[in-house]
Amino acid sequence: MSAKDPTFLGSVTAVAGPTVMVSLAESLASGIALIAGHMYRVAQVGSFVRIPQGYQDLFGIVSEVGASADAKGASGGRWMRVELAGESLGQSFERGLSQLPSINDAVHIVTESDLKRIYGSEGQDQIAIGTLSSSESITVKLSLDALVTRHSAVLGSTGSGKSTTVASLLRSIVRPNQPDGAPAARILLLDLHGEYTHALADFARVYSTTPQPGEKPLYVPYWALQAKDLLDFVAGGLSENQEIAFTDKIQEMKAAALAEAGFPGLDPQSLTVDSPVPFSLKQCWYDLIDFETRTLEGPQRDRPALEQAGSAEDLVPPRYTPAMPGGAPPFINQQAKGIRRQLNLMRSRLLDRRFDFILHPGPWEPALDGSVQHDLDKLLEDWLGHEKPVTILDLSGVPSSVLTTLIGSILRIVYEALYWSRDKAEGGVYRPLLVVMEEAHRYLTGAKEDGPAAEVVKRIAKEGRKYGIGAMVVSQRPAEVDETILSQCGTILALRLSNPDDRSRVKGALPDNLGGLVDLLPVLRTGEAIVTGEAARLPVRCRVTLPRPDQRPKSSDPEVSVAWANKRVAEGYDRVVASWRAQNTFAVALELEINRVQVVDEAEKRGQE
């Protein structure tokens, strides 16, 4: 190839699999090339190159540049390392390589026409997420199929534009009110800070533990949890014998409810303690505390010495005559399981209003006999079957002590439902689901023992692809996210990251051999990301499209200079305390009664007469 070609960069000097070393041409001393009226900066980390191979072109990305100590050669000793990523034949581009270049093959700048060949493809599978940082006239597109089924991760430090990027991605996927939109999309967003309600209001339904006007209350029935997760929350640490006492009672109550009501698809012989069958936790507590505190009298020690019956509904324990010392009646119950402390904790949890969304789940709360107003089909229809494509579960009002258990329970309910309905129209195969997990480092930590949430997400990451369940992990601390989960994310959108531990984790998770690009992470601009993986045609540095200001999450920093420059306004800290006590940002200290009277227009009234 003639060095007079304005796109000529240099020649291949070494090939090691997909890694190619290139010696730069002497004509590029300025580092700038002018081609067809466009100026290109060459030999820049993150830029693209093209290596012609007859009818095919190989494309790669520059991961490193440098100069050798010996600058006597024609190239001036300058070189660059290129990671090959794909190839094209005519106007068709495909990831992967069918051949490798040879020594002395010419290397060229990738021009705008080449970029359009890579990113210009149309189709239902392609969604536009932004533009190339180096050429804002070129739209960057991702494969929606690969983004959902092969999982993805959005990683970036606080203030890097992470939440705005997620909102932009979801808007690009759904494309509301557009002819080429996706009205049948199904997305479940776990929002830990209540940031997305306003940003996605036009195409999302919101469920919250502290619902505001326009939102619906969030309920997660405790009886749909696995028995171990439920007992860890309501009873604390249990020995093996103590756990058996609880699980035997729960199994007995679920069996009675099944015999009384009957649930389609569930055979009594296949019932387990983890089967999602309603039972009354209040009645469970009452029966167990009654057995623990019971004293006995009579010659056979078989007559309860009951003084006053309690109330399961009101969580009042029964009162028995205290056992007498020595051999005098009444006697203690020798068969008690030693779980009184755990039962006291259970009662405390049931009385704590902060946990009503899970222990008193509205129409899903069983009566004392185990009957419920709504079954799980209504819950799944509310979360996954309504008319809007996005469901936001606002968990900002959830106490941290139950957050991991709650998220694990939500994900387990959804996963189990779609897994077992995979051959039905409502299942994930025929209508896939994308689960977006904000602040994932808080509940997907790489601890020795998996928490309830990490256990389910690992199953989704490993097996969800086959059942139409995709995961999008969003975190500002990727170093604290479980390594197994992050390694299963086929597409990475890495925004600005300053922490070296976080950058190291991202480098290990990159699907492509592009460790050199990680060095760019600390200097990325806000809203700029390195996108790589299965959904991206080529690894790319991208400016994500910003939604309109009124469609952005409430995650921006306060304007301190403006706020402090304003004049003081009247403040009432009774309102602050009211919100604190109510755990509700809209709580008020004084309820105002406003009587509204219809005003009749006198001119209109005379006209009617």
Q: Same domain for 462 and 331?
A: no
Question: How many distinct structural domains can be found in the chain?
Answer: 3
Q: Same domain for 156 and 48?
A: no
CA dist 377 and 394 (Å) reads 21
Q: Same domain for 255 and 400?
A: no
Partners of residue 470 on adjacent β-strands: 434
Q: Same domain for 231 and 196?
A: no
Residue 397 lies in a domain: yes
Compute the C-alpha angle 408/409/412, nearest 5°. 85
Q: Same domain for 84 and 30?
A: yes
Write out pLDDT tens, residues 445-463: 877 667 888 999 999 999 9
Per-residue DSSP letter, 527: T
CA dist 250 and 281 (Å) reads 9
Q: Same domain for 112 and 180?
A: no
Closest listed residue to residue 192, CA positions, set 451, 469, 476, 415: 476
The answer to whether 42 and 26 have CB atoms below 8 angstroms apart is: no
Compute the C-alpha angle 366/372/373, nearest 5°. 130
Most confident of 79-88, 471-480, 545-554: 471-480
CA dist 336 and 344 (Å) reads 15
Q: Cα(first)–Cα(last) distance of the chain, in Å?
A: 94
DSSP string, 248-297: HHHHHHHHHHHHHH--TT--GGG--TTS-----HHHHHHHHHHHHH-EEE
Of 313, 334, 355, at which residue does a domain stop? 355
**Structural domain span for residue 158:** 139-203+388-551
pLDDT of residue 72: 47
**Mean pLDDT over all residues of the chain?**
87
**What mean pLDDT comes out for the span 344-356?**
93
Residue 320 lies in a domain: yes
> Which residues, at least 6 apart from 421, have a Cβ–Cβ distance to it below 8 Å?
427, 428
Q: Output the pTM of the full model.
A: 0.86
Residue 173 lies in a domain: yes
Q: Same domain for 464 and 516?
A: yes
Write out pLDDT tens, residues 8-61: 889 999 999 889 999 988 776 666 677 777 777 777 887 889 999 988 999 998
Residue 600 lies in a domain: no
Is beta strand 540-544 parallel, antiparallel or unpaired with respect to 528-533?
A: antiparallel
Q: Same domain for 170 and 236?
A: no
pLDDT of residue 70: 60
User: If 0-12 CB within 10 Å is exposed, 13-18 middle and 19+ buried, where does residue 364 land?
Assistant: buried
Of 355, 378, 405, at which residue does a domain stop? 355
pLDDT band at 515 (very low <50, low <70, confident <90, very high): low
Residue 597 lies in a domain: no
More confident residue, 495 or 509: 495
Q: Same domain for 153 and 253?
A: no
Q: Same domain for 153 and 268?
A: no
Residue 601 lies in a domain: no
User: If 0-12 CB within 10 Å is exposed, 13-18 middle and 19+ buried, where does residue 446 land?
Assistant: middle
Q: What is the 3-state secondary structure (H, E, C) of 410-437?
A: HHHHHHHHHHHCCCCCCCCCCCCEEEEE
Q: Same domain for 425 and 508?
A: yes
Q: Same domain for 540 and 428?
A: yes
pLDDT of residue 401: 83
